[in-house]
Structure formats: C-alpha cells, structure tokens
Amino acid sequence: MTGRRRAVLAALLLIEAATMTTTAAAGATCPTSAYDTRVLADAPIAYWPLGTIPAQQPSAPDCSGHGHIGTYVNTPNTTTMPNGDLAQQFDGSTQYVEFPDAPDLSLTATGRLTIEAWMRPATLQFTDQEGSGYVHWLGKGTSNQQEYVARMYSQVNSENRPNRISGYAFNLTGGLGVGSYFQDPVSTAEWIHVVIVINTADTSGSYPSGYTRIYKNGVLRDTDSLAGLDITPGNGTAPFRIGTRDFASYFEGRIGKVAIYDYELSAADIADHNNTMRA
C-alpha cells in the first residue's frame, strides 16, 4: 500500500469510527485493540474479528465497514487469542460462520486477494475430514463454483503430508488447484498467523498467469505459479465460510481475526500484523 493511500485511509477510519457499530451489525460492537487498529489501517474489504457470543449476538460483524455481516451456525464457543482478545472455537462437526457471496470477496474484483487469519487446531488428527485426510478451515467454493480455500491436513493422511497448512486457488469447475504451503510440526497450544495471497495481476516470466503464496507467522514460506495447472480463478456464487468451506469437512479448533484485502498485503505489513498480535 502506498503512503498516500495509507494516509487517506487513516483519515477515513476516523470518520468511520462514529458509525462502525451500526455498519458492522445491528447491536454489535467492534474490538479496538492495537491489533484491530493496525489491521483496519490497511483497509481490508472485510474484517471479521470473531469472538462474539452467538447466543447473545447471532450476527458476526464486519468491522471493515463494508457490510459483509455473517451468521453463526450451531453456536461456536468463544476463546482467547494471544493478545487477550476473543476469537471463535469450533467443534469440528457442526459449527461454522457464513457470509453471503459478494463480488469483492472474489479475486476477479482486482486480480489480487489476500486472506489473513489466526488459527489454532484443537487436535492434530481431525475427525470430520475429507479427501486424503484434511479439513478446510475457511474458504469460498461449492460444486462448479470453486474459488479458494485454506486447508490443514491431519497428522496421518494418505499423502504423507503431516499437518501441512496450505492455501489453494481453483478454476470455478474445480479439480486440482494450485496451492502454497508450509509443513512444520504443529502444537495444539500454538496460535498460527496464516496469510494466503492469490494474484493474477502481477505476472512475470516466472509467473505468467500469476501465483499463490503463503506466510506463516509473518514470514513468506512458499510461492507457486498458477500456470502450472492452468488455473484462472473466477467469480463464483458460493458464500464465504469459516470453520468449513462446503460441509465436506469441519475444523476443530480456534479461529480469529479474519481479514480479506483486495490487494496483495506487503511482506512488511504482514510481519507487523504478526508482531502486533504477539507484542
């Protein structure tokens, strides 16, 4: 993000603050920690801190001010993040949050999309999994409307990918996707900051049709070419979901501070977000 854009957005945030409660969701309030302020300064097109108590407030507020308000399904519990803020805890079988489809939640709006989230699995071997032994913990896609997904593999799976965490982009028709990943030992006591980038606008000789990339805890870990599988992401009609993608698997664990940006968040900003949460 340019300095000029950041300055303009900072000024707009002061104006939006007075109306944020109404814009986020009726009766909902948005957290105001240093982390929330830092994320909002980078102008996400959706920001879902999560952590509200569904029995008291069934709507999941969008604190970006863009009106992407979600619905909690089957009352996920709340939990605490590294900075003391609340997040959501999912049971791994029925619970999720759903946000209606919107054009700016798709890559095709700008050719660049960044998905940022904090996650902490409650198990290393998921019960309600799919495919070779993995779960989709957030994403946007259904049959013939596939777009993108965040995936985590169980410790034991048929592809020998123990606890791999990855982000995939697909053609709308589905099939194989292009994914970037990291594969490290995982602890159920560890919060992990995951940032997934899909970019079809900034092409090069190495990435003729764009790329996916993934960051772990503020550090770039992998970049992959979309041309490898002829992936051209489209604008689908599926809702965005957290805790599952299309009900084929469910994530058991904690998720918080989910943000989507319609540009590629810089490496410096990603590192700063991670550091702000852990300060």
pLDDT digits (tens, 9 = 90+) for 230-260: 999 999 999 999 999 999 999 999 999 999 9
So where are the chain's domains?
3-278
The Cβ-side half-sphere exposure at 67, using a 13 Å CA radius, reads 4
How many angstroms separate the CA atoms of 113 and 110, rounded? 8
How many angstroms separate the CA atoms of 68 and 258, rounded? 12
pLDDT digits (tens, 9 = 90+) for 92-120: 999 999 999 999 999 988 999 999 999 99
Three-state SS for 247? coil
Q: Are 106 and 126 in contact (CB under 8 A)?
A: no
- Considering the domain 3-278 in this protein, what is its CATH number? 2.60.120.200
Bridge partners of 114, per DSSP, are 197, 261
Provide the pLDDT for residue 136.
98
Judge if pTM exceeds 0.85: yes
